[in-house]
Structure 1
Amino acid sequence: MELSSYTFVLLFLFTIAGDTVCANGIRPTKLFVFGDSYSDTGNNPKSLASSWKTPYGVTFPGKPAGRYSDGRVLTDFLAKFMGIKSPLPYQWRKYGQNRMQHGVNFAYGGTGVFDTGNLQPNMSTQIGYLQGLVKANVYTKRDLGSSLALVTISGNDYGAYTSSGGSEQGLSSFISQVVNQIGINIKRIHDMGVPRVLVSTLQPIGCLPRETIFSSYQQCNESRNSASSFHNQLLQQVVTGLNNSTRGSSFLTLDLFTTFNTVLKNKGDFTGSVKFDTPLRPCCESHKQWCFLWKFG
């Protein structure tokens, strides 16, 4: 079921309320999106991605449309908050030139900061796609100056690290590498001329169905959650450092860790939302990795 927009709207209001989202008093009119399934709105090919099959898209837009959720993803909520249409997925750019006025979504579900063993472009490559559009004069420096960037990280790098035989002893070092690269990436976006970059913290990955299945969906893996907390601590340090060097609030964090934990703790018991009696149990057993997103998307 779709997490009510109420929760996400509150999140955005507390995170980027008022003038914080503006640059030099100008409210952004374009949204550029980089990341993974938490923001992908249809970049992965229909022939390869499960996001084009049910149960995805049942709540919104009413049928599978490439989103790894039964409803809206972060891109859609942020675009609505900004008062613009959700930006066009990069793979459809040739068929929707008129829709590129709202920006472009470069996010691909399954990808990461680094290569994750999939065919999807990593975050550095995604940023290169925007640079290509600028070089092709699709967007001017003025266009970039009136834009906001959303960068999402859901932990695919860490899944790939574990799958490739990475050790627990080496995880902290790898987390540092991932976060350092995030810092390089978001600075690169800002240096291109995007005045505000919003980057998500990592959700409690120990609460994903692929972890809670071992306790029959009763308990989160606190060791994995500690890794999420370490990632977020380093990320906040990176963001603070970048803001200090730019003498402003050019870089903002979207606190998914606290938001997810709040929903899990309260079982979705918010005004206007559906209550989850067993919040750790996936909605669809055949899609254990992604059903947590489907349930909360």
Structure 2
Amino acid sequence: MERKLELMELVAISVLLALLILPNKANAAPQVPCYFIFGDSLSDNGNNNNLLTLAKVNYPPYGIDFPQGPTARFSNGRNMHDFIAELLGFKDYIPAFANSRGKSIFSGVNYASGSAGIRDETGTNLGICVPLNEQIKNHKSIISRITRLMQNDSATDLLLRQCIYSVQIGSNDYINNYFKPEFYETSRSFTPSEYATLLVQQLSLQLKTLYNYGARKFAVYGVGQIGCTPYAISVYGTNGSVCVEKLNEGAALFNDRLKPLIHQLNNNLPDAKFIYLNPSGTATGPATFVTNSPCCTIGGGGGELCLRNSKPCSRPWQYVFWDAVHPTEALNKILADGAYRSMSPLEASPLNIQQLAMY
């Protein structure tokens, strides 16, 4: 039978958490003790470096504006979740699972993998990646490591309940699965509507697995305007439209099913709070931003990444796209600020990340 913790036990566990998580911090604690990140190349910060895949960017000009250089972030500098970690008050960036060591895991872990998707086969046209199911298994191993370090199951449970779990995935299930019929059967097996339903059903199970592992605060992202990337436009054409409509329509079908799922999970899972975040597409930004071309010379990866050691544009802070798919650091900051602060229900519902941290 489950036993409720006594008051003094909770006090002792809270003290233990403070000692373990903030051993040498003179400054204020972060708004949440830890930040766990699940996703794809929009979030990856090094998990693909040692994998046999075209979806890795541990070479220049990637990272030219990042203090540590090319770390395998798919941008010229910080990605969106680096900025969100800063906004949450973390003094260091969340470590990649592949590089996680010692007590650094108390502040969270980034499990994201370039080209990964909700479905296990997604992205394998580019090589090996870590799909969401495998990312969740990796998280389970991190929980075991945290428990061993804490030597207290209750302390681990209390810690995980306070952490934010970011899940931003699904783009590759379209651009590196459904809309790649030369590699995958999904577009011949399912209508766009059926496929979106299937994806959201599977994501629902994956989110519930994380809940069963102790997660309670979830930030879940929709799929952006994948039809507006320079890569999509060059490969598929627009037939006179601004963007590739069939890709954006697929993303919209996914988002239309994800939003009610968030409401359903909030109603059905005790003590949990799920929020839906609209990434506003990857073609957003001030009117002065260059939106129709990438900053770097394209030709790496599967044809959408920067060429190794190529010279990028001189003003990446004025571009939406760093390569033919991924945002610049400048746009990542805008997207992070929106996810963290926006009071618009069209961008963050029912809460934003700042409010979720306080929940």
**Under TM normalisation by the shorter chain, which class is it?**
0.7 to 0.9
Contact persistence 1:209–1:217 (CA under 8 A): no
Q: Does 1:226 align with 2:249?
A: yes
Measured against aligned partners, the alpha-carbon deviations of 1:73-128 in whole angstroms (never above 9, x if no partner) come to: 122011111101221111112xx313222111111111111121242221111111
C-alpha displacement of 1:185: 1.3
Pairing 1:109–2:90 present:
no
Q: Which one is further off, 287-296 or 60-69?
A: 287-296
Distance 1:46 1:119, change over 3 A: closer
Q: How far did 1:56 drift?
A: 1.1
Would you say the 8 A contact 1:40–1:75 is kept in 2?
Answer: no
Return the match for 1:280 from 292, 302, 313: 292
1:36 to 35, 40, 57: 40
CA RMSD of aligned residues (A): 2.5
Runs of 4+ in 1 over 4 A off after TM superposition: 46-49, 215-218
**Paired positions, count:** 259
Out of 246-255 and 106-115, give the one that drifted further: 246-255
SS at the partner of 1:60? coil
What is the CA–CA distance in structure 2 between the aligned matches of 1:186 and 1:217, rounded to whole Å? 39
User: If you compute each CA radius of gyration, which structure gives the higher value, 1 or 2?
Assistant: 2
The answer on 1:239 being equivalent to 2:262 is yes
Whether the 8 Å CA contact 2:226–2:282 is kept in 1: the answer is no
**Aligned residue type for 1:39:** S
Determine if the alignment matches structure 1 residue 145 to structure 2 residue 168: no
User: By how many angstroms is 1:155 displaced?
Assistant: 1.1
Question: What residue is the counterpart of 2:78 in the other structure?
Answer: 72
The answer to whether 1:207 aligns with 2:228 is yes
Distance 1:283 1:261, change over 3 A: closer
1-structure distance, mates of 2:87, 2:76: 20
Q: Would the alpha carbon gap of residues 160 and 210 (structure 1) be closer, same or farther in structure 2, given more than 3 Å must change?
A: same
CA displacement, residues 39-85 of structure 1 (integer Å, 9 cap, x when unaligned): 11111125645310122111123511011111111220111111012
Aligned to 1:132: 141
Contact 1:71–1:294, Cα closer than 8 Å, also in 2: no
Q: 1:184 aligns with which of 201, 205, 214?
A: 205
Q: Distance in 2 between matches of 1:195 and 1:185?
A: 14
Q: Which amino acid aligns with 2:115?
A: G
Amino acid of the structure 1 residue aligned with 2:278: D
Is 1:160 the counterpart of 2:180? The answer is: no
Query: Do 1:179 and 1:235's aligned partners in 2 also have CA atoms closer than 8 Å?
Result: yes
TM-score normalised by length of structure 2: 0.66
Structure 2 residue identity aligned to 1:177: L
Offset, 1:261: 5.0
Higher RCO (CA < 8 A, seq sep 6+): 1
What stretches of structure 1 of length at least 5 have no aligned partner? Answer: 1-25, 270-274
Secondary structure of residue in 1 paired with 2:60: coil
AA partner of residue 292 (structure 2): L
Secondary structure class of the residue paired with 1:234 = helix
Paired with 1:178 and 1:72, the residues of 2 have a C-alpha distance of 29
| Paired residues of 2:223 and 2:281 also in contact (CA < 8 A) | no
Indicate the structure with greater helix content.
1
User: TM-score, length-normalised on structure 1?
Assistant: 0.79
